[in-house]
Amino acid sequence: MKLFKLAMWRMAVAMIGILTVWAAFFYMAMMEEVNDEVDDSLEDYAETLLIRSLSGEEMPSVSNGSNNQYYLYTVSGEYAARYPHISYHDEMVYIYEKEEYEPARVFIQIFQVDDGSYRELVVYTPTIEKQDLQRAMLGWIVFLYVLLLLAILLINAWVFRRNMKPLYVLLKWLDGYRLDTHSRPLVNPTRVTEFRTLNEAVLRSMERSEALYEQQKLFIGNASHEMQTPLAICRNRLEMLMEDDTLTEKQLEELSKTHQTLESLTRMNRSLLMLCKIENHQFVDVRSICLNEMLARYLDDYQEVYAYKQIHLSLEEQGRFCVDISESLAVVLLTNLLKNAFVHSEEGGEIRILFTESLFSISNEGGKPLDGDRIFERFYQGARKEGSTGLGLALARSVCKASQLDISYTFSDNRHIFTVKRLIF
């Protein structure tokens, strides 16, 4: 999940909780305020009635036209002792003027007169429909709730994106940075200390990587030169020694085996150096190459070399398979797959090559299926063949990886099939 989405999600969850609690407290506070105002009005009216009653003045009519009503009862001492002397509650009361029941706020006060008897004063005043108030308040609270939540999230999104812009600029630059090419310089001005420090740390890291990369390229070049020369000298000396007529047959046989070992070591050295160059992206002459046309230049050579095995070749071209690749790497890919097919084909077997616009495949007959999880590992060989270093398929996979291609192995109808196609992003 992206940092922006994660931050907005957490902010939304936090704000929903906070605003929900706020809405509940707001509703309770509003209702408390309404009840407090009504209770004050009831107390004032009850106080007027109480003064008139105690002073012996004439009491007003039970209903005074304002929907306020009162009742005055004489109660026993036991009743007065059992109930609180002042209380408030809500109930539905009958309004004589309207001849209907309406919600009202009720104030009850029990008091004692001069003769020692107790009286109960009950005062009613119509109040608002609390259910209507609740629905109205709920509607407005939900409206304000959603409006406030969206406003807070939008403001946070704007602030977040504006503040995090230097980070996104740095990430975009890192995504496009390549050690093997001259990448554009990092232009990321910011007043935020942490981002400036991060920019400087990244640039220092890139400088160290470039220095190590150049050292590695230099080492590979030197190793290629220094190792090939003594190997070639050893081979030449062995060849000269093998021309000596005084050598016995056994000595010649041992020298021949040593010469073959040196040949294998030379090929292995070249393959390993090629792998290092591919993995270090030292082949930058990328252009569009059609593998169909390139294959034709090498197919005849392989057929001549392996003519003794009487291998039949079947080539089917359903389209031109063109890819963006270095020419050197394209040669490595094709020649290694061709050699692998010829080396592992049985005498009199058949090699099938297929080209379409989206893939290239080459297959040969074989016995048992190979281990698909290990077939592209270095030095892995399903069956040891003469002249094989165990690096051909590893080279092919490295070429594909460096050229945005995918290589896969399948075994079907007693055939080993290697397929190369473009990666889909």
pLDDT at position 386, please? 52
Six token digits for residue 167: 């980070």
Domain shared by 33 and 140, yes or no: yes
Identify the CA nearest to 214 among candidates 246, 180, 238, 243.
180
CA distance 381 to 409: 14
CA distance 209 to 228: 28
Residue with token string 């990092």: 186
Looking at residue 341, the DSSP 8-state letter turns out to be H
Total residue count of the chain as it appears in this document: 425
Domain shared by 233 and 212, yes or no: yes
Domain shared by 147 and 21, yes or no: yes
Inside any domain, residue 259: yes
85 phi, psi to nearest 5 deg: -75, -25
Domain shared by 336 and 418, yes or no: yes
Domain shared by 323 and 395, yes or no: yes
Identify the CA nearest to 324 among candidates 396, 400, 409.
400
Q: Which domain holds residue 301?
A: 286-422
Longest dimension (CA), the chain: 156
Inside any domain, residue 184: no
pLDDT at position 338, please? 86
pLDDT at position 128, please? 61
Inside any domain, residue 15: yes
What SS3 class is residue 287? strand
Inside any domain, residue 371: yes
Domain shared by 302 and 261, yes or no: no
Burial class (CB in 10 A: 0-12, 13-18, 19+), 382: middle
CA distance 255 to 111: 131
Backbone CA torsion sign across 257, 258, 262, 268: positive
| Contact indicator for 121, 72 with CB cutoff of 8 Å | yes
Domain shared by 222 and 323, yes or no: no
pLDDT at position 181, please? 64
pLDDT in tens, 110-157: 888 878 888 888 888 777 655 666 677 778 878 887 888 888 888 888
pLDDT along the chain (425 residues), means of 10: 74 81 80 76 80 75 65 85 86 71 83 84 74 71 82 84 85 80 78 86 87 75 70 80 79 81 74 68 75 82 78 86 85 85 83 89 82 72 56 81 86 88 74
| Contact indicator for 333, 283 with CB cutoff of 8 Å | no
Inside any domain, residue 169: no
Taking CA atoms, 100 is separated from 29, 63, 65, 94, 126, in Å, by: 30, 14, 15, 6, 12
pLDDT at position 285, please? 72
What SS3 class is residue 283? coil
Identify the CA nearest to 351 among candidates 415, 394, 291.
415
Domain shared by 267 and 297, yes or no: no
Inside any domain, residue 167: no
CA distance 36 to 42: 10
Q: Can you give 89-125 as a three-state secondary structure string?
A: EEEEEEECCCCEEEEEEEEEEEEECCCCCEEEEEEEE
Looking at residue 164, the DSSP 8-state letter turns out to be T
200 phi, psi to nearest 5 deg: -65, -40
Domain shared by 352 and 372, yes or no: yes
Inside any domain, residue 183: no
Tell me how crowded residue 152 is: count the other CB atoms within 10 A of its CB: 16
Q: pTM of the full predicted structure?
A: 0.47
The CATH number for 401's domain is 3.30.565.10
Burial class (CB in 10 A: 0-12, 13-18, 19+), 115: exposed
Domain shared by 87 and 198, yes or no: no
Inside any domain, residue 185: no
Domain shared by 271 and 337, yes or no: no
Taking CA atoms, 286 is separated from 47, 216, 404, 424, in Å, by: 99, 22, 12, 19
Domain shared by 308 and 267, yes or no: no
Looking at residue 56, the DSSP 8-state letter turns out to be T
Pairing of strands 312-317, 350-355: parallel
CA distance 418 to 336: 11
Taking CA atoms, 257 is separated from 86, 178, 248, 252, 276, in Å, by: 118, 45, 14, 9, 29
117 phi, psi to nearest 5 deg: -80, 165
State which of 100, 120, 152 marks the end of a domain: 152
Identify the CA nearest to 415 among candidates 314, 265, 280, 273.
314
What's the structural domain count of the chain?
3
